[in-house]
């Protein structure tokens, strides 16, 4: 985490390299703009099996940026460090050889459709052909395409697809945790009448969504002219247990919470970046790969952690090499941890643009909540946060751009949500911000996430006093630079994928 206004606090997710790494890959990042084209070689650490032969890999990403005198952009995991350009010529030659091998080698046609070669641009770093996880969860990877029967109908409570994709995007929550359900009968998301809801019914709905049980339900006023009334509860999915109704009794619809989330046990903070107190950001996790902190993440339920897709590429998909540490504010005192049962990378993740940069980690056992370990709230699909919202980002990342030392302490810094139109302007990121991204930081520089913060949370405080996961630390040009704010995966845009994946992988 970068804060250039004061003594720079350590960023959210970076690593100290006590000895030379066994393997160094070089990522050649190409910045395109209407003004010029510049190239920068960015070395980053990749843990390799010592038994395997070390190699140098050159990959190329095309990222759209505004021209600037000092340009540099990468994901903010601890794999990303300052540039080394001395071996550029050798790297380009080796990269050409690898390109030819991937495009024209005998295995080229076995690569997943998301990793293809088009003309002179061959992207092989983000090969989606990783081995899928077996029943014991030994491997992570990307979601495989679903297969459905010809008679499948969306949201009819009949699971006609192998991975149930026809029934996993039928429930969502609006602002105020208002439950909305889509049915085959109507085809729209409609609120559910409160009459008839009890704890058993609420538990069933939350379990369907991948949570273990419900936390609380309550009636809220609604003036909607169309809603869904509950039928007698059975083992069916919620979309099969409702009927379209013109009105609800007393105009009351369901507000449902599946977790007691977003509660901060410690509230004392110093504006501009500071070491965090125990229990201040209780959803923050530290993700260790082969014993080293690499990325951050956010606990959203007892069984699931949200992080960034670019943290889990290449050899980083081996679930047995990861540990998830919770309830910690110091890398010197790592106590509570979970193992990773499965890594689910968004199948639409684009390693060139960093679009859909999100991963869901399924833990091997549920986490016990406490004052220092709590889940963060997922926002409602229509919940808005603006420049005036109180927002913070946190992590164990480096304290300055190009730094190679992780922060020992968990750091937090207050940041501002930046309008996407401003962030996409020619003087900032020149159109590189997709609908699945948002910018946050300070346009004047100084307050930002940095290398090693990848996957960590950007949270904003809601009107109910709870904290909501608004963004996932993804990428940026430099750290804390003027007109170069941090870029985060936009959680509201990715909610359908989160809930769909949790339903498919529910405990």
What are the catalytic residues? 310, 357, 454
Nearest to residue 73, comparing CAs of 478, 359, 467? 478
DSSP secondary structure letters along 17-85: -SS--S-EEEEEEEEE-SS-EEEEEEEEE----TTSPP---EEEEEEE----SS--EEE-STT------
How far is Cα 466 from Cα 472, in angstroms, rounded to an integer? 18
The alpha carbon of 421 is separated from its chain's Cα centroid by a whole number of angstroms, namely 22
CA angle 437, 439, 440 (to 5 degrees): 140
DSSP, collapsed to helix, strand or coil, labels residue 316 as helix
How far is Cα 428 from Cα 59, in angstroms, rounded to an integer? 25
How far is Cα 157 from Cα 243, in angstroms, rounded to an integer? 13
Cα separation of the two ends of the chain: 34
CA-derived radius of gyration, the chain:
23
In 195-247, which ranges are continuous DSSP H helix? 199-208
How far is Cα 298 from Cα 275, in angstroms, rounded to an integer? 18
Which DSSP state fits 145? P
CB-based contacts of 214, cutoff 8 Å, min separation 6:
199, 202, 203, 205, 206, 256, 257, 258
In 79-225, which ranges are continuous DSSP H helix? 88-104, 199-208
């Amino acid at each position: 985490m970068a804060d250039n206004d004061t003594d720079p606090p350590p960023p959210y997710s970076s690593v100290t390299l006590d000895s030379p790494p066994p393997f160094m890959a070089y990522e050649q990042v190409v910045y395109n703009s209407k003004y010029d084209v510049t190239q920068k070689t960015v070395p980053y650490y990749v843990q390799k099996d010592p038994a395997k032969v070390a190699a140098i890999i050159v990959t190329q990403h095309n990222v759209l940026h505004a021209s600037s005198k000092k340009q540099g952009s990468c994901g903010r995991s601890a794999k990303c460090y300052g540039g080394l350009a001395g071996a550029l010529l050798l790297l380009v030659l080796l990269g050409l050889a690898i390109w030819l091998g991937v495009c024209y080698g005998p295995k080229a046609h076995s690569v997943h459709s998301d990793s293809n070669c088009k003309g002179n641009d061959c992207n092989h770093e983000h090969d989606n052909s990783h081995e899928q996880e077996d029943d014991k969860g030994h491997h992570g990877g990307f979601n495989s395409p679903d297969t459905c029967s010809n008679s499948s109908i969306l949201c009819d409570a009949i699971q006609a697809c192998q991975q149930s994709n026809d029934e996993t995007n039928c429930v969502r929550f609006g602002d105020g945790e208002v439950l909305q359900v889509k049915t085959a009968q109507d085809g729209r998301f409609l609120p559910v009448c409160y009459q008839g809801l009890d704890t058993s019914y609420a538990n069933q709905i939350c379990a369907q969504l991948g949570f273990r049980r419900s936390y609380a339900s309550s009636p809220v006023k609604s003036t909607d002219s169309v809603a869904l009334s509950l039928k007698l509860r059975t083992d069916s999915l919620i979309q099969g247990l409702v009927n379209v109704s013109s009105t609800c009794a007393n105009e009351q619809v369901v507000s449902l919470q599946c977790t007691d989330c977003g509660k901060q046990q410690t509230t004392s903070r110093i504006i501009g970046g500071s070491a965090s107190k125990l229990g201040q950001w209780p959803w923050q996790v530290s993700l260790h790969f082969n014993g080293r902190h690499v990325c951050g993440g956010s606990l959203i339920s007892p069984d699931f952690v949200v992080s960034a897709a670019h943290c889990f590429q290449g050899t980083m998909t081996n679930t047995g090499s990861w540990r998830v540490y919770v309830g910690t504010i110091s890398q010197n005192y790592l106590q509570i941890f979970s193992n990773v049962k499965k890594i689910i990378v968004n199948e639409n993740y684009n390693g060139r643009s960093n679009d859909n940069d999100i991963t869901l980690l399924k833990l091997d056992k549920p986490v016990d909540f406490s004052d220092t370990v709590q889940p963060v709230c997922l926002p409602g699909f229509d919940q808005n946060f603006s420049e005036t919202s109180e927002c913070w980002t946190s992590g164990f990342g480096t304290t300055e751009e190009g730094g190679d030392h992780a922060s020992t302490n968990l750091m937090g810094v207050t940041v501002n949500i930046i309008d996407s139109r401003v962030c996409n302007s020619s003087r900032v990121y020149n159109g590189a911000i997709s609908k699945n991204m948002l910018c946050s930081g300070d346009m004047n520089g100084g307050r930002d996430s940095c290398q090693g913060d990848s996957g960590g949370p950007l949270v904003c405080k809601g009107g109910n006093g709870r904290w909501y996961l608004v963004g996932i630390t993804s990428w940026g040009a430099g750290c804390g630079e003027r007109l170069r704010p941090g870029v985060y995966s936009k959680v509201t845009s990715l909610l359908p994928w989160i809930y769909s994946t949790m339903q498919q992988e529910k405990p």
